[in-house]
A = this chain, B = another copy of it.
């Protein structure tokens, strides 16, 4: 791979976003790398560990209570992407802060904790408790508010599509995280994403993560029925990349807030497209499922000295 001449950034070098310095610009996306405790034992000949060079693992979204998620099947491969309706299966906030967060700190995994709730005011207590347990942790960098999961709410729509609610969520979290990174992750399933990003920025978040999955549906031809029991799911993977790029561009050009690009990033070239728009970092989602080393390999390939080493 030859890097384009306009690219001069080493994505494995520290980057400051909001109040934190993170160890790099290539992250893994929420829900696509579990809690950051999986895959540590996997080896490859090119990149030592799946975690090598990664700027942050955004954890699977954690909710106030444990959730067992939606019925199976809940992740289906499509022609150019995947559709999922995992339904935020997670261990719940209590177990997460007690067992998982300390394990991440111990392992030295740069971590951003993804949180979701069904009411904006639930974010406050969750962040407060995180800050309590995580006080002094050096690898826990902050929180990403998942304001956009289309699988949970009825009909696939969610409270993250109203600027006022987005602002409320950010405002609930912010005071508890004075020195941690606070990211609002937005849904693309809106007419305009910039007003949501602006509302989040105004309410005090440090960065916007975009995009979450796109509402989609597929049909099992044999039965004529939707492939997912709940009909709709979240569409991810290479097919949604142009949509993600459009949404990131809209935010970057209309709102003065750092953007973390997500959506269909499979290769170093794909990551470069988001950086070309001005994204501060990117997250690798679906591609991480095919390849535990997807993000790590991207990070290695995008070092300006990569061609010569």
Taking Cβ atoms with an 8 Å cutoff, the residues of A that contact B are: 4, 6-7, 78-81, 83, 155-157, 161, 189-192, 214-219, 221-226, 231-232, 235, 238-243, 245-246, 249-250, 269, 272-273, 276-277
Contacts and interface: CB of A to CB of B under 8 A. Distances in A.
A220 to B, nearest CB: 9
B81 A239 contact: yes
9 contacts: A79-B80, A80-B80, A157-B192, A214-B243, A216-B242, A217-B246, A219-B245, A225-B276, A232-B249
B245 A217 contact: yes
A243 B249 contact: no
Nearest to A83: B242
B273 A216 contact: no
B238 A243 contact: no
A contacts with B: majority SS: mixed
Oligomer copy total:
2
B190 A224 contact: no
A157 B80 contact: no
A249 B232 CA distance: 9
A285 to B, nearest CB: 16
Contacts of A246: 156, 215-217, 232, 235
Given A221-B273, A242-B218, A191 B4 contact: no
Contacts of A217: 242, 245-246, 249
A152 to B, nearest CB: 16
A277 B217 CA distance: 10
A277 B225 CA distance: 8
A216 B242 CA distance: 5
Given A191-B191, A217-B242, A239-B240, 11 more contacts: A7-B224, A79-B238, A80-B238, A81-B239, A161-B191, A190-B190, A217-B249, A218-B273, A219-B245, A219-B277, A226-B249
